[in-house]
């Protein structure tokens, strides 16, 4: 299977030489998407009240009401924007009579609905083993039927073969569109992409596709328009597929090419800090930040359409503070802004004097809400990068710096004398250094404190157990002198060692968890770290790769697991 993957890749790379025209496949066959289940009206005894009086809603209005009812426990149903957006869209689904009557959301009482859905989900949890098994089997059947496609003689797993169900939109952060109604997608909204000579997917009985297309320059199987942002949504293949794997591999190869010329590029931008042209200075300082801090490019966004977040090129004066001296360091730039997913980026960085002076200059005579880099955007920056290296864009720096950091950290932190759990702790620490660089944060798990406590209790118990075992060993030794019973000593010694190891494992686990409180390792592992570095590390230290990658991850990185030897260098 893996070998087959490699052969397919090699075959394709060979062809890449011949086709530079962006052909992605020659044959594509699939069964189309799985649609969201139709709305099931709630039982008659579950009532809705308006202004204290019971009211039966039309099915259309009722469905949207249930979306809100299901969210009642969430904080955002109390937010003004959410409520306003929801109410506006809900009213569009009402009959004229309902519309005339229901004019104030605060007079709506969804409590019975909410209670009903909670009971439902409780009931689902309480289902018997048999019932649960039945559901599992049905899911498996759907997966087998719709979850795979054939692309160029190869059966591939599809990532998201289910069409997104209707519901209320909840963007991240302070999103101006939160609460809007995400409409139900019907076959008539869907474009199907497959090859002409394949068995075309059939739309559900009595319906039609919007279009059947045969575009082999793209990788998607199904697409539809989404009504909140007006963007297009796609059904594509799983990361384990050839088409994704090859792209991933390419990404890391580009980053490795950057490694070869990064010194030259760094020298260049340092020179450019002195340029007499402001646009070049801005470009050079921005690139420095992208390189040093692994910031994202920062495309412009339409104001009012999304949450107010920025990346490097879209930084504003208000996101930066300058300190000639701070905490004993000179020329400190303080960053404080919301990045992708409204995750806060906060960092105080000492920079070179020249950078500092330049930033000062860029901020001169500007309002807080003005762009820091007013002569720069991602397109200008990327055009410049393209000239420095084929295929170079801003995001390549993130990949490069993440991967090189992992490699360096692994070298630095791995202690050859330590055992497997300690080595894995070192791996996680290396991974963590990258996650911190890339600002991959997570909300501390709700149960964090408690789970730390449980672990500590276990550690304490293990310590007691250890001192008991040691005491027993000692007395066994004393006994042995008298009765020449070496066997008993050996056994006790073994027991002590075993307990020591268990204790060590627990302590390592506690350290790892504590250090990981607000840091998410998954994103960098999945998207930024050349998997060959990790695979090589595992081979070198004889760590089973399963300790680093779970099943899904091993499938995604099959190409790397096959490819990398213990001496692989990024």
Kindly determine how many residues on this chain lie close enough to bind DNA according to the rule CB under 7 A: 86
CA 333 to chain CA centroid, nearest Å? 28
- Decide if 76 is catalytic: no
527 near DNA, rule: CB under 7 A: yes
28 Rama class: left (phi>0) / alpha (psi -120 to 50) / beta: beta
Considering only 199, 247, 494, 517, the residue that binds DNA (CB under 7 A) is 247
**x-or-dash pattern for DNA, window 87-106, by CB under 7 A?**
--------------------
440 near DNA, rule: CB under 7 A: yes
SS3 322: strand
215 near DNA, rule: CB under 7 A: yes
In whole angstroms, the minimum distance from the beta carbon of 357 to DNA comes to: 26
At 128, list the tokens: 């018997």
30 near DNA, rule: CB under 7 A: no
Q: Is-contact 533 406, C-beta < 8 A?
A: yes
257 near DNA, rule: CB under 7 A: no
399 near DNA, rule: CB under 7 A: yes
In whole angstroms, the minimum distance from the beta carbon of 111 to DNA comes to: 19
- Rounded to the nearest 5 percent, the helix, strand and coil shares of the chain are 55, 10, 35
If the CB atoms of residues 483 and 551 are measured against DNA, the closer one turns out to be 551
DSSP 39: P
Considering only 198, 268, 306, 465, the residue that binds DNA (CB under 7 A) is 306
391 Rama class: left (phi>0) / alpha (psi -120 to 50) / beta: left
Considering only 298, 316, 332, 373, the residue that binds DNA (CB under 7 A) is 298
Distances (CA, A) of 470 to 2, 126, 481, 490: 49, 47, 17, 12
Considering only 386, 415, 475, 511, the residue that binds DNA (CB under 7 A) is 386
Q: Is-contact 329 252, C-beta < 8 A?
A: no
If the CB atoms of residues 89 and 98 are measured against DNA, the closer one turns out to be 89
Q: Is-contact 435 520, C-beta < 8 A?
A: yes
Instruction: State the DSSP H helix or E strand holding residue 50, giving kind and residue range, or none if neither.
Output: strand 48-50
If the CB atoms of residues 295 and 564 are measured against DNA, the closer one turns out to be 295
264 near DNA, rule: CB under 7 A: no
In whole angstroms, the minimum distance from the beta carbon of 490 to DNA comes to: 28
223 near DNA, rule: CB under 7 A: yes
Considering only 522, 565, 566, 569, the residue that binds DNA (CB under 7 A) is 522
Looking only at residues 147 through 176 of this chain, which bind DNA when binding is defined by CB under 7 A?
159-160, 162, 164-165, 167, 169-173, 175
In whole angstroms, the minimum distance from the beta carbon of 513 to DNA comes to: 8
If the CB atoms of residues 307 and 489 are measured against DNA, the closer one turns out to be 307
Part in contact with DNA (CB under 7 A); list of ranges 328-336, 358-366, 453-461, 472-480? 453-461
Distances (CA, A) of 347 to 131, 409, 438: 52, 21, 12
In whole angstroms, the minimum distance from the beta carbon of 22 to DNA comes to: 8
Neighbours of 557 (CB within 10 A): 28
Looking only at residues 329 through 358 of this chain, which bind DNA when binding is defined by CB under 7 A?
339-343
Distances (CA, A) of 464 to 460, 477, 503, 504: 6, 20, 10, 14
236 near DNA, rule: CB under 7 A: yes
Considering only 31, 182, 384, 432, the residue that binds DNA (CB under 7 A) is 182
Q: Which candidate in 252, 345, 528, 549 is catalytic?
A: 528
Considering only 395, 432, 492, 532, the residue that binds DNA (CB under 7 A) is 395
Part in contact with DNA (CB under 7 A); list of ranges 47-55, 228-236, 268-276, 359-367? 228-236
In whole angstroms, the minimum distance from the beta carbon of 551 to DNA comes to: 5
CA atoms in the 13 A half-sphere facing the CB of 546: 2
In whole angstroms, the minimum distance from the beta carbon of 535 to DNA comes to: 17
If the CB atoms of residues 225 and 360 are measured against DNA, the closer one turns out to be 225
Considering only 31, 281, 283, 296, the residue that binds DNA (CB under 7 A) is 296
What angle (nearest 5°) sits at the alpha carbon of residue 289, between those of residues 287 and 294?
A: 100
**How many residues appear in the chain?**
570
**Nearest alpha carbon to residue 294 among 384, 406, 387:** 406
Dihedral, CA of residue 16, residue 527, residue 216 and residue 13, to nearest 10: 10
SS3 287: helix
At 302, list the tokens: 């339409």
302 near DNA, rule: CB under 7 A: yes
76 near DNA, rule: CB under 7 A: no
**Nearest alpha carbon to residue 69 among 105, 15, 38:** 105
Instruction: State the DSSP H helix or E strand holding residue 235, giving kind and residue range, or none if neither.
Output: strand 232-235
**Nearest alpha carbon to residue 142 among 34, 249, 272:** 34
Q: Dump the DSSP string for 85-99.
A: HHHHHHHHHS-HHHH
228 near DNA, rule: CB under 7 A: yes
525 near DNA, rule: CB under 7 A: no
Distances (CA, A) of 486 to 56, 161, 461, 468, 478: 84, 65, 28, 19, 11
In whole angstroms, the minimum distance from the beta carbon of 291 to DNA comes to: 13
In whole angstroms, the minimum distance from the beta carbon of 374 to DNA comes to: 10
Looking only at residues 492 through 521 of this chain, which bind DNA when binding is defined by CB under 7 A?
520
Residue whose structure tokens are 């980026």? 345
In whole angstroms, the minimum distance from the beta carbon of 527 to DNA comes to: 4
At 382, list the tokens: 């990327």
Looking only at residues 33 through 52 of this chain, which bind DNA when binding is defined by CB under 7 A?
none
Part in contact with DNA (CB under 7 A); list of ranges 85-93, 227-235, 345-353, 560-568? 227-235
234 near DNA, rule: CB under 7 A: yes
Considering only 111, 207, 379, 419, the residue that binds DNA (CB under 7 A) is 379
- Catalytic annotation, residues: 528
């Amino acid at each position: 299977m893996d070998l087959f993957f490699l052969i397919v890749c090699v075959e394709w790379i060979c062809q890449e030489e011949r086709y530079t025209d962006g052909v992605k496949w020659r044959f594509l066959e699939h069964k189309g998407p799985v649609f969201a289940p139709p709305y099931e009206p709630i039982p008659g005894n579950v009532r809705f009240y308006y202004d204290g009086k019971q009211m039966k809603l039309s099915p259309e209005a009722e469905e949207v009401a249930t979306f809100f009812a299901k969210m009642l426990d969430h904080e955002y149903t109390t937010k003004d924007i959410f409520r306003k957006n929801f109410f506006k869209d809900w009213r569009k689904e009402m009959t004229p009579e309902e519309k005339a009557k229901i004019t104030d959301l605060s007079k709506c009482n969804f409590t019975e609905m909410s209670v009903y859905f909670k009971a439902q989900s409780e009931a689902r949890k309480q289902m018997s083993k048999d019932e649960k098994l039945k559901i599992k089997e049905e899911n498996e059947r759907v997966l087998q039927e719709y979850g795979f496609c054939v692309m160029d003689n190869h059966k591939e797993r599809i990532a998201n073969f289910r069409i997104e169900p209707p519901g209320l939109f909840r963007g991240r952060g302070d999103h101006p569109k939160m609460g809007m109604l995400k409409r139900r997608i019907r076959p008539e909204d869907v474009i199907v992409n497959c090859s002409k000579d394949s068995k075309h997917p059939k739309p559900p009985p009595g319906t039609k596709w919007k279009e059947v297309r045969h575009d082999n320059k793209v990788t998607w199987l199904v697409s539809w328009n989404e009504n909140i942002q007006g963007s297009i949504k796609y059904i594509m293949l799983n990361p384990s597929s050839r088409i994704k794997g090859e792209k991933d591999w390419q990404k890391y190869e580009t980053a490795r090419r950057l490694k070869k010329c990064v010194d030259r590029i760094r020298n260049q931008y340092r020179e450019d800090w002195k340029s007499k042209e402001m646009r070049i200075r801005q470009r050079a300082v921005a690139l420095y930040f992208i390189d040093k801090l692994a910031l994202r490019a920062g495309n412009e966004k339409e104001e009012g359409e999304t949450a107010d977040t920025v990346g490097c090129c879209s930084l504003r004066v208000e996101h930066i503070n300058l300190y000639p001296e701070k905490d004993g360091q000179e020329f400190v730039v303080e960053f404080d802004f919301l990045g992708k997913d409204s995750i806060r980026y906060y960092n105080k960085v000492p920079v070179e004097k020249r950078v500092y002076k330049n930033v000062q200059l860029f901020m001169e005579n500007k309002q807080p809400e003005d762009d820091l880099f007013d002569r720069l955007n991602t397109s200008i920056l990327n055009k410049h990068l393209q000239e420095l290296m084929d295929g170079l864009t801003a995001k390549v720096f993130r990949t490069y710096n993440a991967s090189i950091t992992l490699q360096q950290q692994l070298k630095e932190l791995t202690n050859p004398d330590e055992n497997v759990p300690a080595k894995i702790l070192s791996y996680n620490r290396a991974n963590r250094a990258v996650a911190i660089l890339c600002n991959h944060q997570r909300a501390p798990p709700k149960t964090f404190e408690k789970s730390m406590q449980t672990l500590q209790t276990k550690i304490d118990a293990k310590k007691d157990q250890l001192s008991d075992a040691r005491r027993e060993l000692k007395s066994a030794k004393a006994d042995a002198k008298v009765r020449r019973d070496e066997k008993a000593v050996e056994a006790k010694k073994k027991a002590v060692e075993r307990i020591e190891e268990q204790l060590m494992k627990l302590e390592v686990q506690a350290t790892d968890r504590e250090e990981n409180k607000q840091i998410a390792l998954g994103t960098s592992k999945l998207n930024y770290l050349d998997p060959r570095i990790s695979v090589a590390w595992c081979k070198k230290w004889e760590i089973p790769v399963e300790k680093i990658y779970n099943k899904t991850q091993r499938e995604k990185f099959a190409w790397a697991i096959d490819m990398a030897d213990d001496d692989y260098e990024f």
